[in-house]
């Protein structure tokens, strides 16, 4: 297996952060503890994200981390966006994914593929007050995303879009959608085109919101396009090249989901470790038993490995290296670890862990999505297999 290598004069450990990154992370950690944690259970129960919290995300600069200063953003790095997703997810995975989709999918797509007019028009809004969503999946096209059936027909200066999108994260809150439709279904993936669609465009509406197992506060919605008129100038990148935008944006997004899962695992572990040191059975705390110690040690080791994968892949992206294989591995592994760790956390709490009076069952429910969205585990394995078997 060949390995792309970046030479460095002074290599540093994978978990080392700059002073600015430490400050950034600590601010978000404090915010997550003070503002997000008190709301997490209620938002999960109501399956509703707190609107004021989203406003605070904007005020803190969390919704435009990488957007350059000239467009009103934080001019930060992809790595910082990843730190934000990890820290928020440690407290609430729904908060993590809201910020993740905004930064790693929507803003990234606009930054990378938008023309100057589009950047000037949309990026300041993304940094200030507009939530974004990324709409690729449909009822009949999930893993086989390029089998999408939403059509876009050019009529005068507008494209007219017809079809339905399913499972769209932030669907309820979003004002802007990066939405994929085909300008020529007979051309297969070469017809796929990315459009910037605003919530208020005529013919656009948000349909059913899903009632889910986990990340319940994150809205997951159907989008309905009935003769939806989108100005021709709102094609993102080139017409017919949307498949490239979808693939490349999702490659970056997968690092974000890795970070979300690393955060979820860490949040559950912290609860389990604390509980184990308080709960007494047989006259001792359960953390005095080697059986529990070994479980906590194994969980901590796996969390460390996931986090190092996330950090390394994010650094590769910021360094301009090819990270496709590493991003797929990161998402695959972090979601496996999150499911194992959160499940064990429920067991360490015993019967209490199985109730909604304690926080760990939510972490377990929230972990499950990591293996499904932005490409299922099988799809990650397919990508990894293709690359490693061809020597990349």
Ligand X SMILES: Cc1cc2nc3c(=O)[nH]c(=O)nc-3n(C[C@H](O)[C@H](O)[C@H](O)COP(=O)(O)OP(=O)(O)OC[C@H]3O[C@@H](n4cnc5c(N)ncnc54)[C@H](O)[C@@H]3O)c2cc1C
From the CB of 381, what's the least distance to ligand X, in Å?
8
Number of residues that bind ligand X (CB under 6 A): 20
> Which parts of 201-323 fold into alpha helices (H)?
242-276, 290-318
Residue 167 contacts ligand X per CB under 6 A: yes
Which lies closer to ligand X via its Cβ, residue 135 or residue 160? 135
Which lies closer to ligand X via its Cβ, residue 99 or residue 369? 369
Q: What separation in angstroms does the CA of 137 have from each of 94, 143, 246, 334?
A: 19, 8, 11, 23
From residue 23 to residue 52, the character string flagging contacts with ligand X as x (rule: CB under 6 A) and all else as - is ------------------------------
Which lies closer to ligand X via its Cβ, residue 220 or residue 306? 220
d(C-alpha 8, C-alpha 6), whole Å: 6
From the CB of 219, what's the least distance to ligand X, in Å?
9
Residue 187 structure tokens? 């051309």
Which lies closer to ligand X via its Cβ, residue 208 or residue 274? 208
Partner residues linked to 164 by β-bridges:
224
d(C-alpha 371, C-alpha 367), whole Å: 8
Subset of 345-374 contacting ligand X (CB under 6 A):
369, 372-374
From the CB of 69, what's the least distance to ligand X, in Å?
28
**For 169, how many CA atoms within 13 A lie in the half-sphere containing its CB?**
26
From the CB of 173, what's the least distance to ligand X, in Å?
12
Which region, left, alpha or beta, applies to residue 117 given φ > 0 means left and ψ of -120 to 50 means alpha?
alpha
Other beta carbons within 10 Å of 391: 7
Residue 177 contacts ligand X per CB under 6 A: no
Catalytic-residue membership of 374 = yes
From the CB of 331, what's the least distance to ligand X, in Å?
12
117-152: b (≥16 Cβ within 10 Å) or e: ebbebbbbbbbeebbbbbbbbbeebbeebbebebbb
From the CB of 226, what's the least distance to ligand X, in Å?
19
Binding window for ligand X (CB under 6 A); candidates: 53-61, 130-138, 197-205, 264-272: 130-138
d(C-alpha 84, C-alpha 63), whole Å: 10
From residue 207 to residue 226, the character string flagging contacts with ligand X as x (rule: CB under 6 A) and all else as - is -----x--x----x------
d(C-alpha 13, C-alpha 18), whole Å: 12
Which lies closer to ligand X via its Cβ, residue 69 or residue 211? 211
DSSP annotation string for 67-96: S-GGGTS----HHHHHHHHHHHHHH-HHHH
Which lies closer to ligand X via its Cβ, residue 295 or residue 380? 380
8 A C-beta contact, residue 233 and residue 180: no
Residue 257 contacts ligand X per CB under 6 A: no
Subset of 138-157 contacting ligand X (CB under 6 A):
142-143
- Member of 53, 83, 126, 136 binding ligand X (CB under 6 A): 136
Q: Please identify the residue of the shown chain whose CB is closest to the bound ligand X.
A: 142
Name the maximum alpha-carbon separation found in the chain.
79
Enzyme catalytic residues: 374
Binding interface with ligand X (CB under 6 A)? 134-137, 142-143, 167-169, 212, 215, 220, 369, 372-376, 378-379
């Amino acid at each position: 297996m060949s390995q792309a290598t970046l030479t460095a004069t002074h290599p540093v450990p994978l978990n080392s952060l700059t002073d600015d990154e430490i400050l950034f992370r600590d601010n978000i950690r404090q915010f997550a503890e003070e503002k997000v944690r008190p709301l997490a259970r209620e938002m999960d129960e109501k399956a509703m994200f707190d609107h004021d919290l989203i406003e605070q995300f904007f005020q803190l600069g969390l919704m435009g981390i990488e957007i350059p200063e000239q467009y009103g953003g934080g001019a930060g790095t992809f790595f910082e966006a990843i730190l934000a997703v990890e820290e928020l997810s440690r407290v609430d995975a729904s908060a993590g994914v809201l910020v993740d989709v905004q930064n790693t999918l929507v803003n990234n797509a606009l930054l990378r593929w938008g023309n100057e007019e589009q950047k000037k028009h949309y990026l300041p809004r993304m940094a200030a007050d507009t939530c974004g969503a990324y709409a690729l999946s449909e009822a009949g096209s999930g893993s086989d995303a390029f089998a999408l059936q939403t059509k876009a027909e050019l009529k005068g200066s507008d494209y007219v879009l017809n079809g339905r999108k399913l499972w769209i994260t932030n669907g309820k809150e979003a004002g802007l959608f990066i939405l994929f439709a085909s300008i020529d279904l007979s051309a297969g993936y070469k017809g796929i085109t990315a459009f910037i669609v605003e919530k208020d465009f005529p013919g656009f509406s948000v349909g059913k919101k899903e009632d889910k197992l986990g990340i319940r506060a994150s809205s997951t919605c159907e989008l309905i396009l009935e003769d939806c008129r989108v100005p021709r100038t709102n094609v993102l990148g080139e017409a017919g090249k949307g498949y490239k935008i979808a693939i490349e944006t999702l490659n970056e997004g997968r690092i974000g989901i890795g970070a979300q899962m690393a955060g979820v695992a860490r949040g559950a572990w912290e609860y389990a470790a604390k509980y184990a040191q308080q709960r007494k059975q047989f006259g001792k705390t359960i953390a005095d038993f080697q059986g529990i110690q070994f479980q906590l040690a194994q969980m901590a080791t796996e969390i460390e490995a996931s986090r190092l994968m996330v950090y390394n892949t994010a650094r590769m992206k910021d360094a301009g290296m090819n990270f496709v294989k590493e991003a797929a591995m990161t998402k695959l592994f972090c979601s496996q670890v999150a499911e194992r760790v959160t499940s064990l956390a429920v067991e360490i709490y015993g019967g209490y862990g199985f109730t909604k009076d304690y926080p760990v069952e939510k972490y377990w429910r929230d972990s499950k999505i990591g293996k499904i969205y932005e490409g299922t585990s099988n799809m990650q394995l397919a990508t990894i297999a293709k690359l490693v078997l061809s020597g990349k």
